[in-house]
Amino acid sequence: MTTATGHVDYGYGPTNGPHTWSLTCHTAAGARQSPINIITYKCHFNSKLTPFKVYVSHKGHKVLIRKKHNFQVSFKTDKPTSLEGGPLKDKYSLMQLHFHWGDDDDWGSEHHIDGRSYAAELHLVFVNEKYTTMDQASSDPEGLCVIGIFLKVINHFLYFYN
């Protein structure tokens, strides 16, 4: 949907969600581009992959940045939390995390599983240790690793009592 000023109004709802982004931004339809819909019956276990190894660092400081459609936490440290293993050939450093959410409890995640949206999605953004900035890494197909975690709203009282 385009506003009177000509700006595209994107979001995470049924009428302006990730499934509509490629209509106004053609790069959103790329083969390695968000959003994706994971079709579970097409997924297969790969026994050759090693487990992820996460090295947690509590050093450095965090910066909270409020953005138009979300917020992010950036990590500034010489010894960042890092990730390797799985399908990754290199070691990656955690640079930031951010959330995506919508207007209601059933629609807000950027990605879907079998067409189902979740209330929110957490992205942990790692940068290949060959690079020092996300700008440098973003031009390399192996420069960034984003781990997405779906979040759903539950009534914690019912959850704990059932």
Cβ pair 99, 146 in contact under 8 A: no
pLDDT of residue 90: 97
Domain ranges (residues) in the chain: 37-161
Beta-carbon count within 10 A of 136 CB: 13
Determine whether 44 is an active site residue: no
- Choose, from 69, 98, 100, 156, the residue flagged as catalytic: 69
**Considering only CA atoms, which of 39, 74, 80, 76 is closest in space to residue 57?**
80
Residue with tokens 């960034």: 144
Q: Under a CB-based contact definition with an 8 Å cutoff, are residues 140 and 128 in contact? A: yes
pTM more than 0.85 = no
Q: What is the mean pLDDT of each run of 10 residues along the chain (162 residues)?
A: 45 67 64 81 94 90 79 84 95 94 86 93 95 91 94 75 61
> What is the CATH code of the structural domain delimited by 37-161?
3.10.200.10
